[in-house]
Chains A and B, each alone.
Chain A
Amino acid sequence: DADVTQTPRNRITKTGKRIMLECSQTKGHDRMYWYRQDPGLGLRLIYYSFDVKDINKGEISDGYSVSRQAQAKFSLSLESAIPNQTALYFCATSKTGLSSEQYFGPGTRLTVT
Chain B
Amino acid sequence: GQSLEQPSEVTAVEGAIVQINCTYQTSGFYGLSWYQQHDGGAPTFLSYNALDGLEETGRFSSFLSRSDSYGYLLLQELQMKDSASYFCAVESFNKFYFGSGTKLNVKP
B98 interface contact, C-beta 8 A? yes
Interface string of A39-58 (1 = CB under 8 A from B): 01111110010100000101
Query: Which residues on B are within 8 Å of A, measured CB to CB?
Result: 4, 30-31, 33, 35, 41-45, 48, 50, 87, 89, 91, 94-101
Nearest neighbor of A42 in chain B, beta-carbon distance: B98
Nearest neighbor of A56 in chain B, beta-carbon distance: B94
A12 interface contact, C-beta 8 A? no
25 A-B residue pairs with Cβ-Cβ distance under 8 Å, sorted by A, are A33-B96, A35-B98, A40-B100, A41-B100, A41-B101, A42-B99, A42-B100, A43-B43, A43-B87, A44-B98, A45-B96, A45-B97, A56-B94, A58-B95, A90-B43, A98-B30, A100-B33, A100-B48, A101-B33, A101-B48, A102-B43, A102-B96, A105-B42, A106-B41, A106-B42
Dominant SS at the A interface?
A: loop
Q: A33-B96, A44-B98, A102-B96 are in contact. List 20 more A-B contacts (CB 8 A).
A: A40-B101, A42-B87, A42-B99, A43-B89, A50-B94, A56-B94, A58-B95, A59-B95, A98-B30, A100-B33, A100-B96, A101-B45, A102-B33, A102-B45, A103-B45, A104-B43, A104-B44, A105-B42, A106-B41, A106-B42
A99 interface contact, C-beta 8 A? yes
For residue B88, give the distance in angstroms from its CB to the closest CB of chain A: 9
How many residue pairs link A and B with beta carbons under 8 A? The number is: 59
- Tell me whether A43 and B31 are in contact in the complex, defined as CB-CB below 8 angstroms, given that A99-B48, A104-B42 are known contacts: no
Query: Judging by beta carbons under 8 Å apart, are B42 and A45 in contact?
Result: no
For residue B1, give the distance in angstroms from its CB to the closest CB of chain A: 10
Interface bracket on A: 20 to 34
- Tell me whether A100 and B95 are in contact in the complex, defined as CB-CB below 8 angstroms, given that A41-B100, A43-B87, A90-B43 are known contacts: no
Q: Please name the 9 residue pairs, one residue from A and one from B, whose CB atoms are nearest each other, closest first.
A: A42-B98, A104-B42, A43-B98, A101-B45, A100-B48, A42-B100, A104-B43, A100-B33, A42-B99
- Of A44, A103, A104, most buried by chain B (CB within 10 Å of CB) is A104
- Of B44, B48, B96, most buried by chain A (CB within 10 Å of CB) is B96
